[in-house]
Amino acid sequence: MFEKLKKLIYEQLGVDEDEVIMESSFGDDLGFDDLDMVELIMNAEEEFDIEIDAAGPDFNTVGEMVSYIQKKLE
């Protein structure tokens, strides 16, 4: 799952996959702005066939998003 999310991040912003770790901050480390996060959430919903509540979690790190997706898939 982490590898799939890394690929989405790479495809969306061109961030080197080696720079994406579980502790990476979307804003500070990867340069995501609010619009980038909305797009990533939409892409993750499609990739993992889940629904992420628009008023739901505020993902600060890649690890937080991975944990959320894992719980949704259980």
The model's pLDDT over 52-73, given as tens digits with 9 standing for 90+, comes to 987 768 899 999 999 999 999 9
pLDDT at 16 over 90: no
Biggest distance spanned by C-alpha atoms of the chain = 31
Q: What is the pLDDT of residues 36-54, one digit of tens each?
A: 999 999 999 999 999 998 7
- Return d(Cα 24, Cα 51) in angstroms, integer: 23
* Residues identified as active-site: 33
Q: What is the pTM of this model?
A: 0.90
